Every structure is written in structure tokens, then in C-alpha cells.
């Protein structure tokens, strides 16, 4: 066996040496790119460029490695090279171990500075104040719908969306002991409690359910108090030394959450983009139909339509709309120009690459 493995290992060692040489050559060129960006004051992180690279490697990938694995490797390469120019700081809903933190690394790679925040509002404030270069906030879940606080903040903020990332969300019930003996409360973010409602009703209907700021905060509490059970990711559980009572307790096995990357960066077209808007119309018959008619007229597909009660002004609802394409695409630009003329309120939240 050793005789058969030796030449194969020698081939792997030789290939690894080539990979290392190429990685450092790429890093040297990335440093040159950084010097040019510094001279022109261009942004370090270009989500449209990175999206194009990741799509490109998937299209050219001959296998046997899967596209997801290849994209993960290239995302880390780009993250490491980007950090040679500047280590980007990204705010997220903390503490460490949340799905928001997972979304940060899935979007930016691991060579970034994560800034955990106590609330979604604080994530926005950190990015607005320049404490963080970007913020990552949950915007909707596949089973529970929109994250309303994020929608409300998007209406108020000067920040724009420059990217999106969707991740699979698997919830585990965990405690300090690994069992439910003596547990008097099950804690999690309100969205997580809702996503596990059926399972909880069937298995622990009489235990109090307590909403907290985040699932990771619930895990931290459970790590300090044996009477508390947490619903969180197993990553958070490992961080706070919890035992798993039951894994994958979410009611929808395909449960996913979509996150928005917010900041001041205006993203250029990547070739596969999405534009998010907030609209309002006067309360009269046919107003919404008339508002959206320009999208159909110019062949622009609407992928999301969410209403939210207005909390100020003279309109009853704001409408959050996603459409295919970038604001610089001719058809989208024409449709939005007409749409704005029909709207009582109109705000472009951003154009950005569609999540891989």
C-alpha cells in the first residue's frame, strides 16, 4: 500500500507547490490592484466583480470537485487577497455564532473583521457612522416572510443594498446538559421560535417560549443557566459549550434566510442582478396596478412584492419590490422612470448581484 501511495503523494506535493506559487503570484497582482485603487479612490470590495469570478469558475469547472466547493475555495482566495489591500469590517447581528455571522463569511470570506451588534438597528448605525464598511442584516425567511425591522430601517436609512446572500437555516434545540431536565424556558429569536412552532407544540407545548435578541444570545444564556434551552445553530452551541437535545427542529426542512449587505457602495452591473425598491401610492382604486404597469410594459420581471403598514405620512402602505436587472440596464431604467412618475413615494434601495 505504501509503495502505491508514495508516487501519488509526490504528485500531490508537487501540485501543492505549484498552487502555493500561483496563489502568491495572484496576491502580488492583487497588491498592485490595491495601489491602483488607492490612487483612484476605488472601493476595495467590488461585489459585482467577485460575483462574476465565482460564476465564471462554476461555468468552467470540469469536476470532479463540485461547483459549491470550488466557489468556496475561490471566495477565500479573493477574501485573502482583498485583505492585503484592506481588511474590511462588517457589522452583523451578534453575538458570535449567529446565522448573520455565517452570512458574513459566506459573502465576504473569512479574511474580514466581524463586528457583532446587539440589534439590527445597531448594525445600520455602525455602517452609517463608518465604524463598519458594511452591514449584513436578515431581510426575509422562506417560511416566516419578511424581517419587519430590517424593512423599516431600509426605509429610513441612507445606506443602500450592495449584495445579498441566502443561507440554509437549520435549528437545533440545545442545553447546558444536553437534555431537558429542569428546563423552564426555551429561548430564541422570535423568527426562530416561529420557524420551529409546530415541532415545539408537538414536543414541549407546556414550556415557556421566550423571544430574545438573537439565537446566539439564547445560546449564551443557555450556557450560563441550566434552566434555559436555546434554539440556535450548532455552531453557536459549540461556541457556548451546549449539548444538542435535538437537531434540525425547523418545521420546513428547506428553511432558508436571505440577508442583505448594506453600505454606501453603488454596485455596478454584474450581468445577473436584482434591484430593490420601496414604493407608495395614494389610497384609491387601481393605484397599485397603475403603479406597476411600467414593469410589464418594458418586460421587467418582478420577483418580490411585500406590503408594510406605513408609520408616517399620508399613505396606508409601503410596498417593497424586487425586480430583475440593474438600474443601469436600459429596460429597467425606462420602467423605473415611468414608475416613479406614478408613485407617491419612490426609493431605490440598491442594485446588486443575485445571490449564488
Q: Is 28 helix (H, G, I), strand (E, B) or coil?
A: helix
Nearest to 333 by CA among 305, 304, 303, 300: 300
Burial state string for 147-159 with b = 16 or more CB within 10 A and e = fewer than 16: beebbbbbbebeb
Annotation marks residue 259 as catalytic: yes
User: How many Å apart are CA 97 and CA 116, to the nearest integer?
Assistant: 10
The residue whose grid cell reads 453600505 is: 263
Q: Using CB atoms within 10 Å of the CB of residue 224, give its burial: 0 to 12 exposed, 13 to 18 middle, 19+ buried.
A: exposed
Catalytic residue among 134, 259, 267, 275: 259
User: How many Å apart are CA 307 and CA 158, to the nearest integer?
Assistant: 21
CA torsion through residues 94, 99, 101, 107, sign: negative
Annotation marks residue 99 as catalytic: no
Catalytic residue among 150, 257, 267, 275: 257
Q: Is 82 helix (H, G, I), strand (E, B) or coil?
A: helix
User: How many Å apart are CA 356 and CA 352, to the nearest integer?
Assistant: 12
Active-site residue list: 257, 259
Amino acid at each position: 500500500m505504501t509503495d502505491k501511495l508514495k508516487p501519488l503523494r509526490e504528485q500531490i506535493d508537487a501540485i501543492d507547490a505549484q498552487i502555493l506559487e500561483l496563489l502568491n503570484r495572484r496576491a502580488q497582482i492583487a497588491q498592485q490592484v490595491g495601489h491602483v485603487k488607492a490612487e483612484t479612490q476605488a472601493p476595495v470590495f467590488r461585489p459585482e466583480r467577485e460575483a462574476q469570478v465565482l460564476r465564471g469558475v462554476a461555468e468552467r469547472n470540469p469536476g470532479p470537485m463540485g461547483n459549491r466547493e470550488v466557489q468556496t475555495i475561490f471566495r477565500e482566495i479573493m477574501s485573502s487577497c482583498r485583505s492585503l489591500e484592506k481588511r474590511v469590517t462588517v457589522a452583523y447581528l451578534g453575538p458570535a455564532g449567529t446565522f448573520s455571522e455565517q452570512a458574513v463569511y459566506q459573502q465576504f470570506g473569512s479574511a474580514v473583521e466581524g463586528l457583532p451588534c446587539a440589534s439590527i438597528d445597531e448594525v445600520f448605525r455602525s455602517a452609517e457612522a463608518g465604524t463598519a464598511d458594511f452591514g449584513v442584516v436578515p431581510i426575509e425567511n422562506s417560511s416566516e416572510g419578511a424581517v419587519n425591522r430590517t424593512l423599516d430601517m431600509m426605509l429610513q436609512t441612507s445606506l443602500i443594498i450592495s449584495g445579498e446572500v441566502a443561507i440554509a437555516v437549520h435549528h437545533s434545540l440545545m442545553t447546558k446538559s444536553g437534555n431537558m431536565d429542569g428546563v423552564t424556558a426555551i429561548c430564541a429569536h422570535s423568527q426562530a421560535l416561529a420557524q420551529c412552532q409546530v415541532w415545539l407544540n408537538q414536543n414541549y407545548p407546556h414550556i415557556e417560549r421566550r423571544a430574545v435578541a438573537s439565537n446566539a444570545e439564547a445560546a449564551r444564556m443557555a450556557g450560563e443557566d441550566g434552566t434555559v434551552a436555546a434554539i440556535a445553530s450548532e455552531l453557536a452551541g459549540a461556541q457556548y459549550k451546549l449539548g444538542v437535545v435535538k437537531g434540525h427542529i425547523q418545521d420546513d426542512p428547506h428553511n432558508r434566510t436571505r440577508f442583505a449587505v448594506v453600505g454606501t457602495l453603488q454596485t455596478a452591473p454584474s450581468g445577473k442582478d436584482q434591484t430593490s425598491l420601496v414604493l407608495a401610492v395614494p389610497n384609491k382604486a387601481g393605484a397599485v396596478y397603475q403603479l406597476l404597469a411600467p414593469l410589464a410594459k418594458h418586460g421587467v420581471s418582478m420577483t418580490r412584492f411585500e406590503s408594510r403598514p406605513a408609520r408616517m405620512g399620508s399613505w396606508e402602505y409601503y410596498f417593497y419590490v424586487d425586480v430583475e436587472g440593474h438600474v443601469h440596464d436600459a429596460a429597467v431604467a425606462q420602467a423605473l422612470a415611468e414608475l416613479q412618475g406614478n408613485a407617491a413615494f419612490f426609493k431605490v434601495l440598491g442594485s446588486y448581484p443575485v445571490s449564488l
